[in-house]
């Protein structure tokens, strides 16, 4: 059986990927320090997978503990490295927290992979590496712009570290640049768990719909877009998870063209903030209390992916539509409060 180490596997995208990799026949080991997750997720993953899952609660910044894990588990065919802090605003306020966690955890994993002969890593990168892109849609060749936050900088640096590491011919990399993940597993047993007040659009919409937030601010309706609000490429988290299965399979079947490969993972379609609110209201038959507010500093106006490379080379394509995204996000929001109080 193919064995995968999933770092950050208790988190939003990691947990959905655990399910998809399990369904694809991978044996899973999760490492997470629960800095942005809760233990009930493990229980729910076991319910979905109908199987006990090996879980290590540890901080990947602790090299000795990471080494001990590699020794105990003996062998991994592939590592899928999700573990990182991801709050853009917080990273501006506390940059060192982000450099320390996101880069130390990555280098510790790489040191152990090299030492214990694990060849393959799939890395969570982000569309944030493109900054304010000068061309749309963004292709994998679109040049990086200067990172606007320490978070964005850790993703650019993470890719740079990986690109250098492959020169030793011991490690191969697939970096996936995610666009805007939304939605949840159809079971509504796993989903996104924002800490405190959400920054991202979808959890803010769902929390406003359920009454946890009074009002959603739409950050600007005077942009040069058809309805004046910003445009993004929203991707269902289950589709995104499946891109990781394709990446792991590609590496294990030795199908890669290069030791360092990069793919954009989005739908290729841009949706505005106002469109998203209207689709959410229409599909879920709920009203969102929103108002138009000033522009948010640092927002790109339009961002969507060119997915030709992911479609043709990785053999992956987003299958879920906007209706799936808003329905699954809402179903999760309606359940999550009960999970948080019971465990």
Q: Which residue, 61 or 313, has its beta carbon nearer to ligand NAD? A: 61
Interface with ligand NAD: number of residues (CB under 6 A): 27
What character string, x for contact with ligand NAD (CB under 6 A) and - otherwise, covers 112-151? ------------x-x-------------------------
Q: Which is nearer to ligand NAD, 9 or 220 (CB)?
A: 9
- Answer for the pair 331, 208: CB distance below 8 angstroms, yes or no: no
> By the 8 A CB rule, do 256 and 169 touch?
no
Q: Which is nearer to ligand WQD, 29 or 201 (CB)?
A: 201
The smaller minimum CB distance to ligand WQD, of residues 9 and 189, is found at: 9
Applying CB under 6 A, the span of 4-12, 68-76, 274-282, 285-293 interacting with ligand NAD comes to: 4-12
C-beta of residue 75 within 8 angstroms of C-beta of residue 115 = no
Q: Which of 26, 130, 151, 223 is catalytic?
A: 151
Q: Which residue in 4, 5, 8, 174 binds ligand NAD (CB under 6 A)?
A: 8
When asked if residue 10 is in the footprint of ligand NAD (CB under 6 A), the reply is yes
CB 303 within 8 A of CB 179: yes
List CB contacts of 164: < 8 A, sequence separation 6 or more.
none
Identify which range of 157-165, 193-201, 279-287, 311-319 contacts ligand WQD by CB under 6 A.
193-201
User: Are the C-beta atoms of residues 80 and 5 closer than 8 Å to each other?
Assistant: yes
Among this protein's residues, is 223 annotated catalytic? no
**Residue 336 touches ligand WQD, criterion: CB under 6 A:** no
Residue 83 near which of ligand WQD, ligand NAD, none (CB within 5-8 Å, type-dependent): ligand NAD
Q: 230 is written with which tokens?
A: 């910003």
Asked if residues 171 and 165 have their Cβ atoms less than 8 Å apart, the reply is: yes
Q: Which one, of 86, 148, 134, lies nearest residue 302 by Cα?
A: 134
- The entry of ligand NAD, ligand WQD, none that residue 201 binds, CB within 5 to 8 Å by partner kind: ligand WQD
Residues 177-196 interacting with ligand NAD (rule: CB under 6 A): 178, 181
Minimum CB separation from ligand NAD for residue 105, in Å? 4
Q: CA-based diameter of the chain, in Å?
A: 56
Cα separation, 171 vs 169, in Å, equals: 6
Residue 143: count other Cβ atoms within 10 Å of its Cβ. 11
CB 253 within 8 A of CB 292: no
CA 325 to CA 183: how far, in whole Å? 5
Q: Applying CB under 6 A, does 216 fall inside the site for ligand WQD?
A: yes
Residues recognised as catalytic: 151
Residues near ligand NAD, by CB under 6 A: 8, 10-14, 31-37, 59-61, 82-86, 101, 105, 124, 126, 178, 181
């Amino acid at each position: 059986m193919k064995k995968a180490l999933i770092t950050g596997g208790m988190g939003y995208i990691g947990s959905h990927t655990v399910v998809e990799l399990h369904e694809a026949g991978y044996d899973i080991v999760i490492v997470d320090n629960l800095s942005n997750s809760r233990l009930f997720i493990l229980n729910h993953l076991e319910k979905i997978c109908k199987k006990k899952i090996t879980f290590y609660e540890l901080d990947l910044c602790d090299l000795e503990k990471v080494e001990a894990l590699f020794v105990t588990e003996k062998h991994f065919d592939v590592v899928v490295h999700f573990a990182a802090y991801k709050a853009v605003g917080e990273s501006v306020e506390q940059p060192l927290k982000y450099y320390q966690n996101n880069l130390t955890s990555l280098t510790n994993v790489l040191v152990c992979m090299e030492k214990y002969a694990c060849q393959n890593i799939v890395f969570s990168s982000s569309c944030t590496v493109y900054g304010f892109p000068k061309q749309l849609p963004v292709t994998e060749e679109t040049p990086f712009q200067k990172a606007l936050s320490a978070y964005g900088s850790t993703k650019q640096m993470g890719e740079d570290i990986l690109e250098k590491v492959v020169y030793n011919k011991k490690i191969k990399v697939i970096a996936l640049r995610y666009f805007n993940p939304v939605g949840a597993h159809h079971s509504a047993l796993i989903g996104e768990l924002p800490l405190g007040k959400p920054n991202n659009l979808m959890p803010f919409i769902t929390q406003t719909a359920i009454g946890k937030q009074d009002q959603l601010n739409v950050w600007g309706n005077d942009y040069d877009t058809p309805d004046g609000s910003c445009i993004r490429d929203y991707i269902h988290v289950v589709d995104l998870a499946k891109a990781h299965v394709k990446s792991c399979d590609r590496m294990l079947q030795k199908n890669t063209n290069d030791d360092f490969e990069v793919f954009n993972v989005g739908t290729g379609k841009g949706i505005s903030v106002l469109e998203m609110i209207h689709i959410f209201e229409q599909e879920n038959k709920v009203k969102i209390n929103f108002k138009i507010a000033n522009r948010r500093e640092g927002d790109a106006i339009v961002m969507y992916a060119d997915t030709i490379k992911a479609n043709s080379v990785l053999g992956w394509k987003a299958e879920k539509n906007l209706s799936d995204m808003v329905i699954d996000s809402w179903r999760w929001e309606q359940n999550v409060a009960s999970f948080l109080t019971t465990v």
